[in-house]
Amino acid sequence: MEKKVLGRREAMVRFEESPIYVITDEGQSAGRGNLTVVRAALEAGAKFVQYREKKKALRAMYEEGLLLRKLTAEYGAALIVDDFVDLAMLIGADGVHVGQDDLPAAAVRELVGDDMVIGLSTHNKEDLTEAVALYRQGIIDYVGVGPVYPTQTKDKPAPVTGLDYVELAVDTCAETGLPFVAIGGIKEHNIGAVAAVGAEHCAVVSDITMAEDIGGKIAALTASMKKFALI
């Protein structure tokens, strides 16, 4: 079992510093492996990376996860594992991200202890209300908010929420301090609109993983967010 590198507090500092939350999708990486894509993203300054993999066997994910852990540590970046709490613990990830159909966040917190980030996907007002309660209890650290736009990177995405739900999250975040990242179909051509309603963090998957020039893409996404940001 690998030791965590950043831990919960440091990882959330990286979250706050990151307008772009990078998520892997090897099936949409133009033939490149996750390690190649993540290395390019780290070179471009990415500090918060999620290892999401829906198709590989856990044994292969464990081997790859150890390498991703080593790589992200070299760049001082946080590594979050999607779904697999056991895998996250074993590879020394700084956090785990779970959805509404995964293990309940409160149970996950009992398992991982206090020093690990837990992110939770939310899709509507009810999810968000529950997430605020979990945040106030110290169970979760941030929420995903979406899918804002249609997405092809999940087999069974939740219904598209549009920008209205992002606006609700902006208000909720302002009131409660709950950090959130907008997610779902966010790309260079629409990220400005998401930033314009107040989102300070956007998760981007295929627009980064498919980019020929990953560094250039991250720079362009970041620039678009800044251009349209509320403040």
In the block, residue with structure tokens 């206090």: 114
> Nearest approach, Cβ of 1 to a copy of itself (angstroms)?
4
Closer to a copy of itself by CB, 60 or 174: give it.
60
Among candidate residues 188, 142, 192, 184, the one with its CA nearest the CA of residue 165: 184
Q: What residues are annotated to the active site?
A: 52, 121, 154
Q: Please identify, using beta-carbon distances, which residue of 98 and 205 lies nearer to a copy of itself.
A: 98
CB of 178 to a copy of itself, least distance (A): 21
Pick 30 or 60: Cβ nearer a copy of itself:
60
Distance, CA of 23 to CA of 184 (rounded, Å): 11
Helices 34-43 and 214-228 pack at an angle, to 10 degrees, of: 50
143: left (phi over 0), alpha (psi -120 to 50) or beta: beta
Q: Which is nearer to a copy of itself, 83 or 141 (CB)?
A: 83
C-alpha closest to that of 106 among 118, 94, 89: 118
Please say which residue, 62 or 75, places its beta carbon nearer to a copy of itself: 62
CB of 69 to a copy of itself, least distance (A): 13
Rounded to the nearest whole angstrom, what is the least distance from the CB of residue 217 to a copy of itself in the complex?
33
Binding site for a copy of itself (CB under 8 A): 1, 57-60, 62, 83-87, 89-90, 100-104, 107-108, 110-111
Cβ–Cβ < 8 Å for 96, 117: yes
The DSSP code sequence of 9-64 is HHHHHHHHH-SEEEE--GGGSTT--HHHHHHHHHHTT--EEEE--SSS-HHHHHHH
The answer to whether the beta carbons of residues 122 and 128 sit under 8 Å apart is yes
* Lookup result for tokens 């030791």: 3
What is the nearest approach in angstroms of a copy of itself to the Cβ of residue 22? 24
